[in-house]
Structure 1
Amino acid sequence: MLDWYMDLSLFNQTLIAGLFTWLTTALGAASVLVAKKVNLKIMDGMLGLAGGVMIAASFWSLLSPAISRAEESGQPGWLPAAIGFLVGAIFLWAMGKLIPHMHAYARRNQPEGLQPEKRKRSTLLILAVTLHNIPEGLAIGVAFGAVASAVDSTSALVGAGTLALGIGLQNIPEGAAISLPLRREGISRFRSFMYGQFSGMVEPLSAIAGFLAVTWMAPTLPYALSFAAGAMIFVVVEEVIPGSHENGNKDMATMCLMIGFVIMMILDVALG
């Protein structure tokens, strides 16, 4: 059934995977068109599930392949993984200090970045989710870019597709987490939806950027994979987990995180 997709070039496969994650963000944002009020317990559970998916994807789809690729090239497996992982986290931390934003998942939060007081709250919310979608898109692009140099290209391609599927699924609550708060701010349902889905537009763009980067600079692949993993884990720890605990549903959010991790691990190991 997916033969047509497998016959496409890696670039086109990357583009379609990125567009898929944008579509799932739009699907989550579309909840504002039908929902009259936010069920905070369900939202926290979905965020926990998303966090678990991102953590599992960071290891099984990114860090583990990075270690294997480094060892295949004669490097210590831990070195590129450690450097790339930390640089990815530092990069996202620095972007957060520079770009004005407000965490979308928290009920009570102060704007962050340079001169955030000059921006509307709605703009800050959109910038926050857009900023944190960048590493997800990069992860997809890097994973597909790694297929070209993989010993088992079929397995690597299935793994990249599984990563895109997992990220796409966890984008559904992300889309809802941006559009529903905007609706509470008094913005119309349609505009809230448009802003929510717009935040996912960065994913296909960053996926292409990640793909081209590792294609042109193949020796950097272990570092690029680890970079994407570090950036994703930073998002989970800094934003997703605290946001899922904000409303007092810690136990539920934590168990959903564990379930999300197991689901993504099974998908990655069984399919990849």
Structure 2
Amino acid sequence: MLEAFKELHPTMQAFIGTLFTWGMTALGAALVFFVKGTNQKFLDSMLAFAGGVMIAASYWSLLAPAIEMSSESPGPAWVPAAVGFLLGGVLLMFVDRMLPAIDTDRYMHDIKDHKAKNRTALLFFSMTLHNIPEGLAVGVAFGALASNMTESTLAGALALALGIGIQNFPEGTAVSMPLHRDGMGKKKSFMFGQFSGMVEPIAAVVGASAVIVIEPILPYALSFAAGAMIFVVAKEIIPGSHEKGNVNLASMSLMLGFTVMITLDVALG
């Protein structure tokens, strides 16, 4: 099977690799089906867990690789990370202000509370945005196999896809569970959760097809997604998990989510 995979065009390899990462997102989102009842403490803890996952992913999956990539380019290595990060936060602030004018009822009519509706919309948007540069990164890794970038190997590209896929499991949960917490049905929460990872195969094909063009802007794209996620965590996730008074539980759950993600990121290198 590996030999057959080697014979495929790098674009197809990237597409198949990110079908796996998308599948892992869907698998994580599917945990929503195993939740029984609507225990508020549990749901608040899952929202905070999502915040911890997002904070850790923002650095280890996005900012750290962006800084590492930038260190190989001329100019200060911190510039792409700083610029991209701030732009990501500004975009989400703009989206947050525009949400009242957007017809979110069409997709989230089962969430009655207006504040919760905005929170879920921002959460879904930021997690989806976060998956685009990850898909691009996988695409660039496979696309480099067809170029003169000799440091790139098939094993490295496969390891990247495997690592991102495993990390996507808790990220899928981090979308579907908070959506369910805010009143969305389990089936719909799962659909939104897995859809956040659907952009990765598309982004991978783009990255593999335009590897020379995409690679220089990848540090900005990774940092941009990190800024968007941190904005959502600071403005919506942490305050939302404290709304019902479960502050200590939510705080420890956030730390648990953070620990899970740094363990996966560091262990998978």
| Counterpart for residue 19 of structure 1 | 23
Equivalent of 1:253 in 242, 250, 257: 250
Contact 2:21 2:164 in 1 (8 A): no
| Counterpart for residue 9 of structure 2 | none
Alignment CA distance shift 1:128-1:230 (3 Å): closer
Alignment CA distance shift 1:41-1:139 (3 Å): farther
Contact 1:49 1:256 in 2 (8 A): yes
Alignment CA distance shift 1:243-1:142 (3 Å): farther
Q: CA deviation at 1:156?
A: 6.6
Mean Cα displacement is larger for which, 261-270 or 242-251?
Answer: 261-270
| Counterpart for residue 224 of structure 2 | 227
Contact 1:56 1:264 in 2 (8 A): yes
Gaps of 5+ in 2: 7-11
Q: Does 1:134 align with 2:128?
A: yes
* Residue identity opposite 1:122 in structure 2: D
Q: How does 1:90-239 map to 2 (within 5 A)?
A: 90-98=90-98, 100=99, 112-114=100-102, 121-122=109-110, 125=117, 127-148=121-142, 151=151, 154=155, 158=159, 161-179=162-180, 181-182=182-183, 192-215=185-208, 216=210, 217-239=214-236
| Counterpart for residue 80 of structure 2 | 80
Q: CA deviation at 1:59?
A: 0.8
Mean Cα displacement is larger for which, 83-92 or 55-64?
Answer: 83-92
TM-score by structure 2 length?
0.76
Alignment CA distance shift 1:163-1:254 (3 Å): farther
Q: CA deviation at 1:66?
A: 0.6
Identity across aligned pairs (percent)?
A: 35
Aligned-CA RMSD value: 3.2
CA distance in 2, matches of 1:114, 1:220: 30
Q: CA deviation at 1:15?
A: 2.3
| Counterpart for residue 242 of structure 1 | 239
Mean Cα displacement is larger for which, 122-131 or 234-243?
Answer: 122-131
Alignment CA distance shift 1:114-1:49 (3 Å): closer
Q: CA deviation at 1:113?
A: 3.8
Contact 2:85 2:225 in 1 (8 A): yes
Number of residue pairs matched by the alignment: 247
